[in-house]
A and B are shown apart, each in its own frame.
Chain A
Amino acid sequence: MKRAIWTALSLLAGDAQADRSVPPTGFTARLTLFTAAAMALLAVFALSLSLAAGRLAVRWSDELAQTSTLRISAPAEQMAAQTGAALEVLRTTPGIASARALTEEEEQALLTPWFGPDLPLDALPIPRLIEIEAEGRGYDATGLRARLQAEVPGAVLDDHTRWREPLVAAAGKLRGLGALAIVLIGASTAAMITLAAQSALSANAQVIRVLRLVGARDAYIARAFVRRFTLRALSGAAAGTVIGAILVALLPGGAEDGGSVLTGIGFSGAEWLWLPLIPPLAAAVAFAATRGAARRMLERQS
Chain B
Amino acid sequence: MIELRNVAYSYGGGELFSGLSLALAPGSFHFLTGPSGAGKTTLLKLCYGDLVPTSGEVALWGEATTGMARDGLALNRRRIGVVHQDCQFLDHLPLGDNVALPLTVAGRHHEAAAYLPDLLAWVGLTRHVDRRPPELSGGERQRAALARAVIMSPEVIIADEPTGNIDWEMSQRLLALLVELNRMGKAVLIATHDLNLIRSAKAQVAVRTLRLKDRQLLAAGADL
Residues of A within 8 A of B (CB): 17-18, 20-21, 23-24, 207, 209-220, 298, 302
Q: How far is the CB of B68 from chain A (nearest CB, A)?
A: 11
**What string of 1s and 0s marks CB contacts (under 8 Å) between B58-86 and chain A?**
00000000000011001101100010100
Within 8 A of A (CB), among B128-149: 148
B71 CB contact (under 8 Å) in A18, A24, A207, A217? A217
In the complex, 14 of the A-B residue pairs with CB atoms within 8 angstroms, ordered by the A residue number, are A17-B97, A17-B104, A17-B109, A21-B90, A209-B88, A210-B88, A211-B90, A213-B48, A213-B84, A214-B148, A215-B74, A217-B70, A218-B70, A218-B71
User: Complex: how many Å from CA A220 to CA B77?
Assistant: 15
Chain B 9-42: CB-based contact to A (< 8 A → 1; otherwise 0)? 0000000000000000000000000000000000
Contacts of A216 in B (CB 8 A): 74, 105
- Return A271 CB to nearest CB of chain B, in Å: 45
Residue B50, interface by CB 8 Å: yes
Kindly provide the distance from the CB of B164 to the nearest chain A CB, expressed in whole angstroms: 18
Q: Determine which of A21, A24, A213, A219 lies in contact with B77 in the assembled complex, contact meaning CB atoms within 8 Å.
A: A213
Distance, CA A223 to CA B109, complexed state (A): 17
Please determine whether B70 and A302 come into contact, CB atoms closer than 8 angstroms: yes
Check A213–B71 contact: CB distance below 8 A.
no
Contact B82 A213, beta carbon cutoff 8 Å: yes
In the bound complex, CA of A62 to CA of B109 (Å): 65
Q: Given the complex, which residues of B lie within 8 Å of A302, measured CB to CB?
A: 70
Whether A214 contacts B77 by the Cβ 8 Å rule is yes
Residue of B nearest to A299 (CB): B70
Residue of B nearest to A16 (CB): B109
CB distance from B80 to the nearest CB of A (A): 8
A-side contacts of B97, CB under 8 Å: 17, 20
The distance in angstroms between the C-alpha atoms of A220 and B91, with both chains bound, is: 19
CB distance from B173 to the nearest CB of A (A): 23
Which chain B residue lies CB-closest to A302?
A: B70
Interchain CA distance A217-B70 in the complex, whole Å: 7
Q: Is the CB of B71 within 8 A of A214?
A: no
**In contact, B93 and A20 (Cβ under 8 angstroms):** yes
Instruction: Point out the residues of chain B lying under 8 angstroms from A23, CB to CB.
Output: 90-92
Which residues of chain B have C-beta atoms less than 8 A from A21's C-beta? 90, 93, 101, 104-105
B219 at the A/B interface (Cβ < 8 Å)?
Answer: no
Cβ-based interface call for B106 (8 A):
yes
What residues of B have a CB within 8 angstroms of the CB of A211 in the complex?
A: 90, 101, 105
Residue B162 CB within 8 A of the other chain: no
Considering the complex, give the chain A residue whose CB is closest to the CB of B149.
A214
- Interfacial residues of chain B within 84-126, with CB under 8 A of chain A in the complex: 84, 88-93, 97, 101-102, 104-106, 109
Name the A residues within 8 Å of B48 (CB-CB).
213
**Minimum distance in angstroms from A15 CB to a CB of chain B:** 8
Report Cα–Cα, A298/B77, bound state, in Å. Answer: 17
Chain B residues near A218: list those with CB within 8 A: 70-71, 74
- Give 5 closest A-B pairs by Cβ, nearest first: A215-B78, A216-B105, A23-B92, A215-B77, A214-B102
Since A17-B97, A215-B75 are in contact, a sample of 20 more A-B pairs with Cβ atoms closer than 8 Å, ordered by chain A residue number, is A18-B105, A20-B97, A21-B93, A209-B88, A210-B89, A210-B101, A212-B74, A212-B77, A213-B48, A213-B84, A214-B101, A214-B148, A215-B77, A215-B102, A215-B106, A216-B74, A216-B105, A218-B70, A298-B70, A302-B70
A residues within 8 A CB of B106?
Answer: 215
Kindly state the separation between the CA atoms of A1 and B70 in the bound complex, as whole angstroms: 27
User: Which of A209, A210, A220, A298 counts the most B-chain CB atoms under 10 A from its CB?
Assistant: A210
Q: Residue on A with the closest CB to B152? A: A215
B63 → A minimal CB distance (Å): 15
Residues of A within 8 A of B102 (CB): 214-215
Enumerate chain A residues within 8 angstroms of B88, measured Cβ to Cβ.
Answer: 209-210, 213
For A217, the closest partner residue in chain B by CB is B74
CB of B104 within 8 A of CB of A18, answer yes
CA of A213 to CA of B109 in the docked complex: distance in angstroms? 17
Contacts of B77 in A (CB 8 A): 212-215
A20 to nearest B CB, angstroms?
7
Shortest CB-to-CB span from B107 to chain A, Å, is 8
Contact with A along B189-222 (1 / 0, CB 8 A): 0000000000000000000000000000000000
